[in-house]
Structure 1
Amino acid sequence: MNSIIQIKNLWKVYPNKVEALRNVSLEVFEGEVIGLMGPSGSGKSTLLHITAGLEKPTDGEVYIMDHSIHLMDEDQLASFRQKHLGFVFQFYYLLEDFNVLENLTLVGQLAGVERPQEKALQILEYLRLSHRLKHRPSQLSGGEQQRVAIGRALMLDPKILLADEPTGNLDLAEGKRIFDLFLKLREERGLTLLVATHNEELKPYFDRIYRLKDGELV
């Protein structure tokens, strides 16, 4: 199995001296579904954001597919994310003035995807959202909004999907449906997934789990 993410001796210290991450090292292999687990404030979101290049580490190294994420400038990071990474946020961040189909199509248009609306329609059918194409986010359930957010992340055919508390705003039954979808994406699309959650009932979905407490692996 090929290593796809390597994180080495990662530190994140904010200007107020809070140490969000302390000497964290981990490795993810291609095709794995990996859990980052721990209580709120343990550093899970910070670790995901640094892995995606959305934040810079104070110290340490991040390699994705042998690319040095920690050394890239903002333009290089944007290009790399567009080609290889998808990110799913807890709070969806859908565009309220646009319907479901437009939320996905716009991402494809901005990234230069060929026939973006056609691709968006295919993804939304795969996610069982074809009946919601013309609905705006406020007209959807929480689970439907999260599936739209996942669909948006899939528009660029990422090799890796990073998800930050993707079920934090959902009840357990809907959360399990989202995780069933993650496993389906791994099996059918070959995605590697790194998912942060504090919900212990979701442990069975992971191949392996890294646990964080106060910014350290435990």
Structure 2
Amino acid sequence: FFATTFVLTVATFLASRTYWSQYNAHLAASEAVLAGLGASSLHAFSLRWGRVASRTATALLLVAASLPGAWHVVQGSRQQFLDVVALANHVRSDVPRDACLFAFEPGQALVAGRLPMGATPVVDTYATMIQDAMSTGDRFDDTNEAFAAPEAQQALRVMLGSCRFVILGWQGTWQLTRESMPWFKQHFVRRFPPTDTGGVGLWERRADR
């Protein structure tokens, strides 16, 4: 049953046009049971192999199973950790706690101890934009096409315009179209870091906008 559940879940991911890596968390339930089954089978075999051989085989399997996840964590932390920590420190010291802070990736605001704010707090901009794009009943071939829909971009501009500060990284750059990005830079000015380093940054709405 759990093996079938695992396969069907993966198949659903592959069929989805809006797949996001966080969806992998749904595999945890079936993976936990399958891992327990594997451990039970390994224990049964160990009774035949002997104590030393079984412990060696178990250790090797555990190391092999943990390597892919460990590599992914290390690579991800190298790419984002320093930028996000520096940004979080700046937000804590320079952004008033009662000021609206919009983050395309909410985790970047959470690191600074800030929850989603605004007239309508947005937790998941990815899902919100897809929902806005499909509000007229239209269907799209992929996520990029949905993001580019006028309804999605207009709603995004309203959300951005309702906040004083915006955290913009690769996700925001992806979700803003070529038409919306100039609008964003006309209405917001980069505060941290002062120059574009290609990473995540904090922007503030211009006083005259």
Work out whether the TM-score is over 0.5. Answer: no
Shorter-chain TM range is: under 0.3
More strand by share: 1
TM-score (norm 1): 0.24
